[in-house]
């Protein structure tokens, strides 16, 4: 055994590379990354947003960040598939821990999440956020728009989340309508993928419904996503209920007829080369999960976003 074995999350003095870890033991930071709030030279910070008081059906996704971290252990063992590299040879990544929230003062939630994100983004570090319910995307989008201007949103979801909004409610089904109305989301370049619920309202975001993806295929969907995004700053928001309940039972508002895990992963991997500025992955509710099916899918999707960022970092010839 080497001195560099086990518990990289708190024993390592570097944010690069990785050590041997037992998959069934040790500290379960996301992908075994070092826990740190020192962002000097850090390319990406992973953080949890354990909030679920804005749900409309089943609660429990406040425990999502913990479940996703635990499910990520096998992804930290080998080189990334299908990329064939270790992203941490190219990227400095830390697990920043969770956003501190006071659920007993609901009026403080959005401000606390936005301030948490600001602390990270202001240091030039990208942010990968693990929810939590989908409302958390709204303050995250606000923080990102301060640094990048209006954002191209690529939203993977069973629901459009653009229902009528009064501008102040804590609701995981209205925040993207608010984002468009406030100018932080550029509807003309944004796309929703996997939608399979109806809403009479139309805020201008293009919808690729789940049946459309099933009929036309992944490549056709990627053509739409890529052409609409162009070189604009892209924020990805992935609600795990985009996946069919067969592939993601552990979520609060499951809807039949969704994407399979392989479709979602192929779509994510096909976004390589876009100007990816941030991502959240939300609505994992482990109490309804089975054998970590949902959490494993969520961890893999988030892992693959990091790989896309690593590939972009490498292609720019960046050094840490």
In tens, the pLDDT along 63-78 reads 999 999 999 999 999 9
Average the pLDDT over each of 9-23, 139-153, 286-300 and give the range with the smallest value: 9-23
The model's pTM is 0.95
Instruction: Sheet containing 206-209: give its strands across.
Output: 34-35, 93-98, 44-49, 126-131, 275-282, 233-239, 152-156, 191-195, 206-209
pLDDT tens-place string over residues 12-38: 999 999 989 999 999 899 999 999 999
Name the pLDDT band for 87 (thresholds 50, 70, 90).
very high
The overall average pLDDT reported for the chain is 95
Question: Could you tell me which residues are beta bridge partners of residue 20?
Answer: 5
pLDDT at 318: 52
Could you state, in order of their start, the residue ranges of all structural domains in the chain?
41-315
- What integer pLDDT is reported at residue 320 of this predicted model? 41
pLDDT at residue 2 in the model: 64
CATH of 41-315 given 3.40.800.10, 3.30.930.10, 3.30.70.20, 2.60.40.420: 3.40.800.10
Two tokens, residue 154: 């690529």
């Amino acid at each position: 055994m080497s001195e560099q074995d086990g518990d990289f999350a708190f024993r390592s003095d570097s944010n690069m590379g990785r050590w041997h870890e037992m998959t069934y033991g040790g500290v379960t930071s996301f992908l075994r990354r070092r826990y740190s709030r020192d962002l000097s030279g850090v390319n990406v910070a992973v953080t949890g947003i354990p909030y679920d008081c804005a749900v409309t059906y089943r609660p429990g996704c406040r425990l999502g960040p913990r479940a996703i971290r635990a499910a990520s252990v096998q992804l930290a063992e080998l080189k990334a598939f299908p990329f064939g590299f270790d992203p941490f040879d190219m990227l400095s990544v830390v697990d920043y821990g969770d956003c501190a929230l006071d659920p007993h003062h609901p009026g403080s939630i959005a401000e606390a999440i936005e301030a948490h994100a600001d602390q990270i983004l202001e240091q030039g570090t990208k942010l990968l956020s693990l929810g939590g319910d989908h409302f958390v995307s709204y303050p995250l989008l606000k923080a990102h728009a301060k640094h990048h201007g209006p954002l191209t949103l690529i939203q993977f979801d069973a629901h459009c989340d653009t229902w009528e909004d009064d501008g102040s409610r804590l609701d995981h089904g209205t925040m993207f309508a608010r984002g468009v109305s406030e100018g932080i989301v550029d509807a003309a370049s944004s796309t929703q993928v996997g939608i399979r619920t109806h809403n009479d309202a139309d805020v201008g975001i293009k919808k690729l419904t789940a049946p459309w993806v099933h009929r036309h295929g992944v490549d056709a969907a990627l053509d739409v996503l890529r052409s609409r995004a162009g070189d604009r700053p892209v924020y990805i928001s992935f609600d795990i209920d985009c996946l069919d309940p067969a592939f993601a039972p552990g979520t609060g508002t499951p809807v039949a007829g969704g994407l399979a895990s392989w479709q979602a992963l192929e779509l994510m991997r096909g976004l390589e080369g876009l100007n990816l500025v941030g991502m959240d992955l939300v609505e994992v509710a482990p109490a309804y999960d089975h054998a970590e099916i949902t959490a494993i899918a969520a961890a893999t999707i988030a892992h693959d976003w990091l790989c896309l960022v690593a590939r972009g970092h490498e292609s720019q010839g960046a050094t840490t």
